[in-house]
Chain A
Amino acid sequence: MSDDLVKILDGNTFVVSDQAGDIEASRDDPTGLFSYDTRFISTWVLTINGERLNPLSVDDLQYFETRFFLVPGTGTVYIDAKLSVIRRREVGMGFHEELTILNHSDKPVRLTVRLDAGSDFADLFEVKDDLRKKGKYSTEIKGRELRLRYQREEFRRQTTVSASQRARIDSKGMTFTCRIEPHGEWTTDLDVVPVVAALEDVAQARAARRISMQRNLERWLAQAPRVECDWEPLRRIYQRSLVDLAALRFSPPIAGGRSLPAAGLPWFMTMFGRDSIFTSLQALPFVPELAATTLLALGDWQGSRVDDFRDEDPGRILHEMRYGEMTAFEERPHSPYYGCADATPLYIVLLDEYERWTGDRKLVRDLEIEARAALNWIDEYADLRGDGYVWYKRRNEKTGLENQCWKDSWDSISYRDGRLPGFPRATCELQGYAYDAKLRGARLARSVWKDPDLADRLEKDAADLKRRFNRDFWVADDEYFALALDPDGNQVDALGSNNGHLLWSGIVDKSKAKAVARHLMGSKLFSGWGVRTLAEGEARYNPIGYHVGTVWPFDNSFVAWGLRRYGFKEEAARIALGILEAADFFDGRLPEAFGGSERSQTKYPVQYPTACSPQAWSTGAPLLFLRTMLGIEPHGDHLAVDPALPRRIGHLELLDIPGRWGRIDAFGRGRVNAGGRSSRR
């Protein structure tokens, strides 16, 4: 989407408009008011005496609030403007707009103010894929309200538009006639409320719980740790990340008012298993409550049935949940859709990591049933070839996902020569996550669920998995791990960033780690900004290919964590610095992905064309880099600090880190290998 669009949002409600605040959405264009995956306003155009307005400036006050300063006339000359217009818009339950017209002349003026309003009630999927509607539209004028309606069987959606000033309302909008005294002003409030009948109760409950969004944001920022650093961009990047993460919080109608990270604006303001888990992991040392909500909400929706259409199995953690019309009529399987193979083991990883940071054993006990079911899924449902590996193959062949790993585009998993393997596929990082899940599950079984037999079995399985993995996935000639195994159990031998996730999971034999690190930092994978998804030289490598050559900040944050885990501090710090320097080029906001071209060639990072922004796990990446640069790691009730700062950063402090120790500070100084300390408050 184009960057001159103005976006404001609150959870899964968001407004995207042009610079004048107007919305004139075509079918496949992502402007409008969206809520619950449905577009509730597709036309919202203001005219004065028949003239459109011209933007002077836009103030992005907060992520949920913006102000447009406008003058009449569509020309470029407005020096002599006698009128100016301010639209202050706040998103909440739908949106609220305060429209003010100022008369700067010494004569009174009489104006006709017209607001065109309309809705196509498009499902987000229809906007993405340009599809047609099957239901009926109607409008109703009731009192001071214009009601726009859509109905298909019992599926009903409505948008209510109302104004505080008296207006002539017709089926396409409302017209105001006003007289403004010399140097006077006229103002009206406009309210747009989406009505989703079945979910109305929830929306109202949410409204009742809502405190002022401003206060909510202030509290969020105040509770997060503070960063002190002599490299100014890092402070800005950190602040940007915290605010964007606040914006991406989303309260699904099941989380009791608590919020978890949605994946990204505009297409992904919904619950995603993988994205919510990765982001919660990144944010754990900063805002641990995100992890708690993610675990509870994903636990509630854990698969309980064998359902081919949804690729659902008992114990499986969902991939994506949607609320729109196409989901309601089973034209899409997102009710919810379960086709991903990593969220389930990662669920256990997050649960354990959460307990290590917070000491919240109650949650681990409360989720024992779900955690056991997730562990069981790995062995009973994911092992499609019966050889002890995690495999995926979709059962919904029409609308299910082919690649059920994070690199989920069609060509992401290839052999070196570019051929694509058949299904099922066992990508390497899935085995790493499963290994880590078993070991962490064992720790929880022993210490919280008091089930030493389960713990023993999981540890034995994990050791066995590690042994086989290091034999079967290791590309001995070149000394790295293959991307995947194909249906015949042969290596899909391309080199990718997945190797870094393997370090993170701990599945890599110590003797092999050095070679893996060398590949990650070598010129084929490391661009100078970060590690490419696929190595240069592979047949499908393309520096702007979605999962075949671009650099993903989220991916890199886990690669850096992996390098640290095996002691490669300096390498981890280099990656952290590269991505953070890239962030500085993007005004502190990391995109989903950027081009994999060599840094010395382009000088600045090239944004991937249709990347989502802000995107949760990109937003979380700087947080995880702070963790890896400072080397903070819970050990029992202590927080160990082992900093390794990249050049450019002379000192770094993270103050008031929340956790089982209360609040604690971490300091790092100097270049790599400089000493660090922590102090308790």
Chain B
Amino acid sequence: MAAMAATTTEEFFDALGRQGHEPLMSRGNGTIRVELTDGKKSERWFVKVSRGDVEVARTGRGEADCVVRGTRELFDRLVSGRTNPVVALLRGDLWFEGDYNLAILFQRLFPDPPRSRKKTAS
């Protein structure tokens, strides 16, 4: 589900790993490697998807089917809804490589932007 109340990258991946199954990834198969840079430091997350079953790890083996690349600061904004992933992609702040479809399904997991609300008639 989209509205995960994560505020940081760790919380986002922790919640995703605990969840174990993500219906929005039902059509996804393969491994996404998320590569984040923070100045000189870098960190990696591996998300293995098999028909909606999701495993999250900090280390991984073998080739990833899809690589998602950006700064750690950007990713914190993505997982808290403060930046829209498509906008980040078009601006050249976020990069997808490999299996685009997997990346598109993955971006659906980022939450609502703050302050947006379900509308009822006024």
Contact = CB atoms under 8 A, between A and B. Distances in A.
B116 A308 contact: yes
A393 B119 contact: yes
Chain A interface secondary structure, helix, strand, loop or mixed? loop
Interface stretch (A43-51, A104-112, A323-331, A499-507): A323-331
B37 to A, nearest CB: 14
Given A254-B104, A305-B2, A369-B23, A198 B95 contact: yes
Given A307-B113, A309-B113, A386-B121, A300 B101 contact: yes
Contacts of A307: 84, 112-113, 116
Interface stretch (A54-62, A151-159, A236-244, A405-413): A151-159
A204 to B, nearest CB: 11
A487 B121 contact: yes
Contact of A198 (B92, B98, B120): B92
A335 B2 contact: no
Contacts of B120: 384, 386
Contacts of A253: 100
A336 B86 contact: yes
Contacts of A308: 113, 115-117, 119
A329 B113 CA distance: 16
A1 interface: no
Given A381-B118, A395-B119, A328 B91 contact: yes
A201 B91 contact: no
Contact of A306 (B86, B98, B109, B112): B112
- Assign chain A's interface to a size class: 35 or more
A366 interface: yes
B121 A384 contact: yes
Interface in B68-105: 81, 84, 86-87, 89-98, 100-101, 104-105
B121 A305 contact: no
A304 B110 CA distance: 9
Nearest to B116: A308
Nearest to A424: B121
- B2, B81, B90, B97, most chain A CB atoms within 10 A: B90
A301 interface: yes
Contacts of A301: 104
A384 B119 contact: yes
Interface residues of B, number: 37
Nearest to B120: A384
B51 to A, nearest CB: 10
Contact of A323 (B24, B26, B84, B90): B90
Contacts of A330: 84, 87
B112 A201 contact: no
A306 B81 CA distance: 10
Contacts, number: 101
A395 B26 CA distance: 30
B108 interface: yes
A487 to B, nearest CB: 7
Contacts of A156: 92
A226 interface: no
Contacts of B2: 304-305, 314
B91 A329 contact: yes
Nearest to A325: B90
B58 interface: no
B17 to A, nearest CB: 19
A573 B104 CA distance: 44
B27 A154 contact: no
A464 B115 CA distance: 35
Contacts of B84: 307, 310, 330, 335
A304 B24 contact: yes
A154 B93 contact: yes
Given A386-B121, A395-B119, A154 B92 contact: yes
B92 A369 contact: no
Interface string A204-221: 000000000000000000
A310 B84 CA distance: 10
A299 B28 CA distance: 13
B116 A155 contact: no
Contacts of A309: 113, 116
Contacts of B100: 202, 253-254, 256
A393 B118 contact: no
A656 interface: no
Contacts of A424: 121
A141 interface: no
Nearest to B93: A154
Given A304-B108, A369-B24, A198 B90 contact: yes
A461 B108 CA distance: 29
Contact of B87 (A256, A304, A335): A335
A305 B116 contact: yes
Nearest to A384: B121
B119 A154 contact: no
B118 A313 contact: yes
Contacts of B111: 305
Given A302-B108, A335-B90, 15 more contacts: A154-B92, A256-B101, A301-B104, A305-B113, A306-B112, A306-B117, A307-B84, A307-B116, A308-B115, A308-B117, A309-B113, A323-B90, A328-B91, A381-B118, A386-B120
Interface of A: 153-156, 197-198, 201-202, 253-254, 256, 299-302, 304-310, 313-314, 323, 327-330, 335-336, 366-369, 381, 384-386, 391, 393, 395, 424, 487
Kindly list the 3 A-B residue pairs having the minimum CB-CB distance in the complex, ordered from nearest.
Answer: A328-B90, A154-B92, A304-B108
Interface of B: 2-3, 23-24, 26-27, 81, 84, 86-87, 89-98, 100-101, 104-105, 108-113, 115-121
28 contacts: A153-B91, A198-B89, A198-B90, A198-B92, A201-B96, A201-B97, A201-B98, A254-B104, A256-B100, A256-B101, A299-B27, A300-B105, A301-B104, A305-B110, A305-B112, A306-B3, A306-B117, A306-B118, A309-B116, A310-B84, A327-B90, A328-B90, A329-B91, A330-B87, A335-B90, A369-B27, A385-B121, A393-B121
